[in-house]
Amino acid sequence: MQFSALQLATMLDGKLEGNPDVKVSNIAKIEEAGDGMLSFIANPKYEEFLYTTQASIILVNESLVIERPVKPTLIRVKDAYSSMALLLEKYRYMTGNKTGIQQPSYIPKSVKLGENVYVGAFAYLGENVVLGNNVKIYPGVYLGDNVIVNDDSVLYPGVKVYDNCVVGSRVMLHAGCVIGGDGFGFAPQPDGAYKKVPQIGNVVIHDDVEIGANTTIDRATMGSTIIQKGVKLDNLIQIAHNVDIGKNTVIAAQTGVSGSTKIGQNCIIGGQVGIVGHIHLADGTKINAQSGLSKSITIPNSSLTGSPAYDYKSSLKSQAIFRNLPDLEKRVKELEEMVKQLLQEKAGV
Active site residues: 241
> How far is 290 from 161, CA to CA, in rounded Å?
29
End-to-end CA distance of the chain: 95
> How far is 203 from 201, CA to CA, in rounded Å?
7
Burial of 18 (0-12, 13-18, 19+ CB in 10 A): middle
> How far is 97 from 91, CA to CA, in rounded Å?
10
The torsion angles phi and psi of 248, rounded to 5 degrees, stand at 60, 25
- What is the β-pairing status of strands 130-131 and 15-17? unpaired
- What is the β-pairing status of strands 194-196 and 186-188? antiparallel
